Amino acid sequence: MNDQTTPRSTDALRAAARKHLLFYGRDFADVIITRAAGAYMYDSTGRAILDFSSGQMCATIGHNHPAIRTALEKAARDVIHLDSTKLAPAVIELAEELCALLPPSLQKALFLSTGSESNEAAIRLAKLHTGGFEIAALSGSWHGMTAGSQASTYASGRRGYGPSLPGTFALPPPNAFRCPIRHCQDRCTGTCLDVGFELFDGWSVGAGAAVIVEPIQSANGMIVPPEGYLKRLKRFCADRGMLLIFDEAQTGLGRTGSMFAFESEDVVPDVITLSKTLGAGVPLSATITSDTIDADARTKSFSFYTSHVSDPMTAEVGLAVVRLITAERLADRARDLGQHLMAGLRELQQRFEVIGDIRGRGLLVGVELVEDRHSRRPAHDLMQRVTRRCLDMGLNINKAGGPNAVWRIAPPLTIEPSELDAGIGLLDEALRGCGAR
């Protein structure tokens, strides 16, 4: 057993990680992070690494923000955990202040731990309320790893685990750069939505419950739907008696330049789920719906309680996050910084043929690498080499997932313009160093 008074070497920690940590789907980077603050992480050698992914896209207001530390200290003094039927003030105040940011039809909140859980609860609500069981999601989506949310996750992790839940269906996503129905190029006409629901109607047994979508698909490569798409999706759902669930794990609470991504299209979902940006680094999620759905769910004995539903500690953090984002107008800041980031990336695109497309909104941006812009073949090998070189040079940037070569750039909303410029400069140097054209 290690003498905890003696710091362990980096090599010793790496050896222990190899021996005891179960592979979870991705390999661990060859660094040990000992400290993080603001937009930076610091490894065991003291080297600063600019974090262009906000941890797991969760550190919305930066790593180890003083407001988060204060909230954790308050919870440690007052109350950390309770029986879920006992409420602490922070839980009530978080519900009140979060719902004040949302439309009148979204005023009933359930607080859980992870995005998977919040989507699981939303799907269960939809099934109970509608009486149906069929759930449609976009191909390439990521909604979680629990049974219901994983059944509607199409980005990865589907093979080898036996049957998924019955009644799940994938709609083609509005990817204008790589149209899934081979209909358009570079400008989505929304025909994929018509085709998707025609297929759904042919497949359905008449038991539609909900469509669950990310307003901007992240794991599928930062797919931004065209104007009007989400409104048409809402109409398609209403015509079939299905609920519309927006999974705003990555887009909620300011990241896209508005408090919630659905505001950009003036369309309100029946259920919204929040997670990553709400907890800002601690495990906190929310499922929020209407008074009507809540009342119906109560009548039908809705059940979704876990050991950590309505936990006071995480609620204190969520309350601090909501208050800080609101007080410091971080959604407006994300919009302005997003324009700055996009301008810098566009300059890179002019110099490098391998940058095939740049898309996103606010501080949630995707950069797609291709072997050439004519064939649009994904440049996977180049992406891996540039990503490793970036980390060696002090920039953390990660792949969005999915079958293509797309970086997801999602720095903290508190990042400085000079830090964005520094990251773009490192990316430029890494591309040149890896021989990118």
Residues annotated catalytic, as ranges: 142, 214, 247, 250, 276, 408
The per-residue DSSP string of 275-308 comes to -HHHHBTB--EEEEE-HHHHHHHHHTT-----TT
> How, if at all, do strands 48-51 and 395-396 pair?
parallel
Looking at the DSSP bridge assignments, the partners of residue 285 are 112
Instruction: Tell me how far apart the alpha carbons of residues 230 and 184 are, in angstroms, rounded to a whole number.
Output: 18
Instruction: Tell me how far apart the alpha carbons of residues 204 and 211 are, in angstroms, rounded to a whole number.
Output: 13
Q: Which helix (H) or strand (E) holds 326?
A: helix 312-327
Amino acid letter, residue 125 = L
Instruction: Please give the biggest Cα pair distance in the chain.
Output: 65
Q: DSSP 3-state assignment of 145?
A: coil
Cβ–Cβ under 8 Å, residues 176 and 187: yes
Instruction: Give the number of other Cβ atoms within 10 Å of residue 340's Cβ.
Output: 14
Looking at the DSSP bridge assignments, the partners of residue 359 are 366
> How, if at all, do strands 48-51 and 108-112 pair?
unpaired
Cβ–Cβ under 8 Å, residues 257 and 362: yes
